[in-house]
Amino acid sequence: MGKYFGTDGIRGRVGDRPITPDFVLKLGWAAGKALAAEGNTRVLIGKDTRISGYMLESALEAGFSAAGVNVEFLGPMPTPAIAYLTRTFRAAAGIVISASHNPYYDNGIKFFSDSGHKLSDALEQRIEDYLDQEIDCVSSEKLGRASRIPDAAGRYIEFCKSVFPSELSLSKLKLVVDCANGATYHIAPNVFRELGAQVVEIGSTPNGLNINAGCGATDLAALTAKVREEKADIGIALDGDGDRLMIVDAEGVVIDGDEIVYALVRQAIKDGTLEGGVVGTVMSNMGMQLALEKLNVPFTRANVGDRFVMQALRENRWFIGGEGSGHIINLKYHSTGDGIIAAIQFLSAMVREQCSARDMIQGMQKLPQVLVNVRFTSGTDPLREDNVLSAVAEVEKALAGEGRVLLRKSGTEPLIRVMVEGKDSARVKAYAQQIASEVAAIV
């Protein structure tokens, strides 16, 4: 991570630096200067449904204009849609105003390159270098202009539908789709309806303050209840910016990102289309690793964050990867993780195999995994403290090679994440609390 950029752009609480109008204006200017130095003077800007998006959008526009870069607005759009549209419009970069799965009072800025991938470390560093300089302004005749792309949503809907096999239909399926009151509210339900499904919407009435609030991929209670009430075949949950997917089966049982990756890999093997192996993260459930081993599919772990999953995929020249939290990447379809695309892949496999959502994950048995978050802002690094290290060593010894312990700092929130995984649920929970208590005593 750089001085300003984290693992997923720049993120924080609105009104606190760096998510302030003055900083974001300068960020737009700095990004504009870095891009203009390479001869690029056109960017796209999209956002999720947070009320602060309007303010930050205006600040970015002013900054880019001052640097002589033209801006085209997409309006509320999922993060993966902005990556796609950046490529199709041949823009120099796509900018996303979103804090993904965080509450409405947070927001962030992340960038895509002209290829639809995250910015290179080198370009991020050049932007940071400009952020440390005094802002200036091009002459009036060179100021950047602003315009809107009115058909952005329709373009992306058609792209999503193109992933679904033309000979299949969702006409026999009833879906509940939870849009998290976020950026997919006007896109995901239309995609699935146009593919033939009967769609029941929830979390599709954003008001600027209710994004991710008791809904979406991070809170499945409402979706689970609605699936049971509607006697639906499956529930689809997206997060606020549409790059995460979680699924609920007809009985209300959650199918997480690790299980979705396994299901897509198993289907790719049946179709004869799997090339290479699978990338997970250090948080991926060991049950997925063991299940993939039975299928003779290579598996490797990356650091947490779709950025690192993507990096490992490209290094290995593989195509499929993901995280238990619901980031699913398939480079055969898109340049970034996409909740709607992953859902379409899962649904098309269900239709092709004429099976239920539960049947899709047969052959994978998750190990009990407990995650405890401990709030941490600054000061002593608890991951280096002797008491914490001793607690970890003690638990690892007790697990005797039949489980894992992982401690890490979150890249998007001020948290220390304590994860313990093993065969016995009660023991795993106790071990996680034991280590978390030592961490909490430090912070």
Question: Which residues form the catalytic set?
Answer: 100
- HSE at residue 38, side-chain half, CA atoms within 13 A, is 15
CA distance 443 to 436: 11
Neighbours of 442 (CB within 10 A): 17
Angle, vertex CA 60, rays to CA 305 and CA 129, nearest 5 = 65
In 3-state terms, what secondary structure has residue 413?
coil
In 3-state terms, what secondary structure has residue 373?
strand
Q: Helices in 67-120 by DSSP H: which ranges?
A: 79-88
Q: Which two tokens stand for residue 92?
A: 């120099």
Contact call for residues 236 and 177 (beta carbons, < 8 A): yes
CA distance 393 to 62: 53
CA distance 250 to 357: 7
CA distance 255 to 365: 12
* Amino acid making up residue 369: Q
Token match 């607690």: residue? 391
CA distance 425 to 367: 8
